A and B are shown apart, each in its own frame.
Chain A
Amino acid sequence: MAKTWIVARHEFSVTLGRVGYRISLAVVPVVALLAFIGIFIFQSVRSGEISGEAGASAETVRVGYVDLSEGEDGGGIFTSYRQQGRTAFVPYVDQETATGALLEGDIEDLYVFAPDYLRSGRVTRVEIKRSGIDVDGNSSAGALRRFVVSNLLEGRVETGLAERVVEPYRLTTVEVDEAGAEAADSELNFSRLVIFGAFGLLLTVSLFTAGGYLVQSVTEEKQNRVMEVLVSSVKPDYLIFGKLIGLGAVGLLQMGVWVGSGLLFVLFVGRMVDLPDLDFTFSLGALLLAFTYFLLGYAFVGTLMAAIGGVTTSQQEANNITAFVVLPAVAPIWFTNFLIQDPEGVVARVLSFVPITAPVASMIRLAFGGMGAIDVTVSLLLLLAGVIGAVWLTARLFRAYLLMYGQRPRIVDMARTLRGR
């Protein structure tokens, strides 16, 4: 097995050195960076803070208010809870001073609470008249609502009740099975969707990228005649495993860079723009299951792609034929509706049990919570058997046809080879 790792390291470093790979690796981070710069400039222009103040404005949004309201004690109502998340409410004694601050750019929004606010609820939002369409809307509305409600309830109800009024509920969904028992992972709907959805996407992209590199690697080694030296040094199945691991790592690195730059993008942009809060609960079990499907799925399809590289005579020819493997592998995406609406139906089960479609189909079913433990077990066992069979098949074809240059074997010849004749 040591040679498998040597091959894997070689494939990894050689692919990393390819200009095409480096470009594809950099494209998402560069686009994310450009998008971030664009959003940053847009936000700065909007705030009138193109200069060094832009950094500070990304931290806290200052919203001014003039409290003319009269509470029960005759004073203003809005004296507390001025910090609402990233929004700081800044009090001004009169509208004239506050408007000056708005025009100066010290505050982004200005609200004026009317003297009869308690009776009428009147609040006036002051904004600067600009030509064109107002695209930013009222981004501090959510913070304003919490600020107002918190102040209205202060001292009137206990703190816990006040918090519930501000945020009436935190919704979670609990699923029960047909017997009425709560499903073990019933609270993980969103997390499950993210984990299985992400790995399904990862697998799909990896099949196109790492799988493509795999075919390219094998056909190149056939074309430049290195293959004969390689197979005199390392057994074909170890060679295939090495390529799968090395190029799988290449695919994972690519996805890691893409996903990482996407997350960084969301993180940094999230500091400038309010994003909805999502309730994500990490589940190790779901993660392991998704990763298992990913590994077996990649190993199965990748091995078949290596076999195609081994029996074809050129990169072009190999690319044409790999479509017959990759398309069935990602085909369950077209059946997503079936898989969601009838996750225990015949179509869903067949797609989850046939090795070529199993990884993507199962991940879609799991993402939407429609795959039982028995189906998962059967699906994984069949997929594992498929991987072993694919490696056996590919190793035999490698031995027989890897060193045939310039002519592709006929299907009947390959069948004869697989039968050992």
Chain B
Amino acid sequence: MTSVAAMQPAVRAVGLRKRFGNLVAVNDVSLSVSPGEVVGLVGPNGSGKTTTIRMLLDILRPDEGRVSIFGADLTAQATEQIGYLPEERGLYRGLRVIPTLVYLARLKGMSQQDALDRAGEVLSRLGLEPHQNKKIRELSRGLGQLVQLAATVMHKPRFLVLDEPFSGLDPVNVRLIKDFIAELSGESVAIMLSTHQMTDVEELCDRVIMINKGSVVLDGGLAEIRRRFASGELFVASRPAPEGLEGVIESRADGAGHALRLAVGQTPEGVLRQLLDRGASIDRFEPATPSLEQIFVRVVKEGRG
């Protein structure tokens, strides 16, 4: 990779807009993903995520705006650097695993021989070697999904779009794919992960882009977003429970501890001192930050309001 290419985002979209009849599905969406970055694309159903993804892949043409891949226009050659695992998954049910992988890789510009060699590598990495001569219809749903993931990375894409990659998979395969994503990220592959599972985003992503009603409503690092949505509350897990403390106007149970809302003038240090004076055993004492799921629900509700 050249130094110029290294500085460029893998994908950059500027001012994307798409209408279907009277419906504005995507409105002025701008985003970028850098090499080696894992970005979570989240949003409620019908928010415009899939339409945005399809414009990034040149499946749909935007009415306005522009997409570039490593600084270049979205030409046929540029799209060969993209790997796409769609949410609506499926393969040729009557075809065997290796011919399926080879065909789809050849459509991404690989030669027949390179595709055959690469199929062996990928199948081995995903533990699919015992199934390489089976027809797709003979595979379980989970194995079929792994084969589809294999097809997605066959041509060594530099920008990967994974739409709900874990749905329908057992925990072992979920872990396998998570490790694989981390490995690809380590190889400087830019990854966009579209999912409704906020815990997966928290675990895997460096950055989150949230789309609601066709527009980007959040874009930033996870920690930064959490801080932005922090309420100023304290989260305390102690024995005895942190109740009856001075300068605390609300204490409510929150999972394994309590969320405390402090009165004006009260500080976290003041609360901590009171607990220590009481001889309480303290397991956790930290500023309360909302989970991504809580942020998601809040943003979506505010958007509806």
Contact = CB atoms under 8 A, between A and B. Distances in A.
A235 B104 contact: no
Contacts of A6: 103, 106-107
Contacts, number: 57
B90 interface: yes
A377 B69 CA distance: 46
Nearest to A236: B59
A233 B107 contact: yes
Interface string A230-247: 111111000000000000
B188 to A, nearest CB: 21
Interface string A118-156: 000000000000000000000000000000000000000
Interface string B115-151: 0000000000000000000000000000000000001
Interface in B53-107: 54, 57-61, 76, 79-80, 82, 84, 86, 88-95, 103-104, 106-107
Q: Size class of B's contact patch?
A: 20 to 34
Contacts of A50: none
A164 interface: no
A234 to B, nearest CB: 5
B194 to A, nearest CB: 13
B141 to A, nearest CB: 13
Nearest to B57: A232
Interface string A405-421: 10000000100100000
A80 to B, nearest CB: 68
Contact of B21 (A225, A405, A416): A416
A17 interface: yes
B108 interface: yes
A293 B88 CA distance: 40
B89 A3 contact: no
A14 interface: yes
Interface in B273-304: none
29 contacts: A3-B76, A3-B107, A6-B103, A6-B107, A7-B107, A14-B92, A223-B90, A225-B86, A225-B88, A225-B90, A228-B59, A228-B88, A229-B86, A229-B104, A229-B151, A231-B59, A232-B82, A232-B84, A232-B86, A233-B104, A234-B76, A234-B107, A399-B59, A399-B60, A399-B61, A403-B59, A405-B88, A413-B21, A416-B21
Binding site secondary structure of chain A:
helix
Those 9 A-B pairs whose CB atoms lie nearest each other, nearest first: A225-B90, A233-B107, A224-B90, A228-B86, A225-B88, A232-B57, A232-B84, A6-B106, A231-B59
Nearest to A420: B63
Contacts of A416: 21
Contact of B54 (A229, A235, A403): A403
Given A225-B86, A399-B61, A403-B54, 10 more contacts: A3-B76, A3-B107, A6-B106, A224-B91, A225-B88, A228-B59, A228-B86, A232-B84, A233-B108, A399-B59
Contact of A230 (B60, B82, B94, B107): B107
